[in-house]
Amino acid sequence: MDTFEAIKTRRSVKNFDKNYKMTKEEINQLLKLAILSPTSYNIQNWRFVTVTDQTIKNKLSELSHGQPQVSDASLVIILCADLNSWNKEPERYWTNIPEEPRNALVISLRNSYNGKLEQQRDEAMRSCGMAAQTIMLAARSMGYDTCPMKGFDYDSVGKMIDLPDDHVISMMVVVGKKLKDASPRGGQLPLSDIVFENRFKNV
């Protein structure tokens, strides 16, 4: 499937075959593609909690207002981020480059995030958003469907997955074999409402 086709056919699917199991290799392939998503400074601050166990998926569904796609999809990925990844051996984000530019990047990275809680959280959400879209398009190319989700109890899910204190949850993406098409698209705004050439004017 080419990229345009994956983008056009990605929809938030709610009905999945609950008996369908993705293989470990497929899940691994999806995650290997996810980590090719861009992150600022190559900080790779996302952390992925994968759930295939039916009992845990059922519990996650309960914590998601009973939304059935959580229990029925083959895989639930909880996209989290480490807010302090900027301060955890940042040299490891550039192992392939020479020491001098690497050290310069470490200094710049620390300056960007040290003591800047809003920046740390923004970066968490930016990185996870990028990874979520990669996961959804890659899954589509593998013949699967997805639903991105924020409709769940973040605190309870955090407790359930032992979320470390310096991590946050961004969203979930469920992946599986579609049983029923998504409802027709809600409708896209016209480009004229949302695209501005060079600057906002006459809003």
Q: Write the CB contacts of 145 (distance below 8 Å, at least 6 apart in sequence).
A: 10, 11, 13, 16, 139, 175, 176, 177, 178
Q: How far is the CB of 125 from ligand FMN (least distance, A)?
A: 10
Residues 25, 34 contacting (CB under 8 angstroms): no
Q: How far is the CB of 98 from ligand FMN (least distance, A)?
A: 39
Q: How far is the CB of 196 from ligand FMN (least distance, A)?
A: 22
Dig out the tokens for 116 from the structure: 């800047």
Nearer to ligand FMN, 115 or 187 (CB): 187
What residues form DSSP beta bridges with 117? Answer: none
Four-residue CA torsion sign, 178, 181, 187, 191: positive
Nearer to ligand FMN, 148 or 176 (CB): 148
Q: How far is the CB of 65 from ligand FMN (least distance, A)?
A: 8
Q: How far is the CB of 18 from ligand FMN (least distance, A)?
A: 16
Nearer to ligand FMN, 9 or 114 (CB): 9
Q: Which amino acid is at 32?
A: K
Nearer to ligand FMN, 143 or 151 (CB): 151
Nearer to ligand FMN, 185 or 201 (CB): 185
**Opening angle at CA 159, ends 27 and 48, nearest 5:** 25
Q: Taking the CA of residue 202 as centre, how many other CA atoms within 13 Å lie in the half-sphere pointing to its CB?
A: 6
Q: How far is the CB of 34 from ligand FMN (least distance, A)?
A: 16
Edge-to-edge, what's the strand order for the sheet holding 46-51?
Answer: 46-51, 75-82, 167-176, 145-149
- What does the binding site for ligand FMN look like in residue numbers (CB under 6 A)? 11-12, 14, 67, 147-151, 171, 182, 185-186
Q: Taking the CA of residue 201 as centre, how many other CA atoms within 13 Å lie in the half-sphere pointing to its CB?
A: 3
Nearer to ligand FMN, 67 or 74 (CB): 67
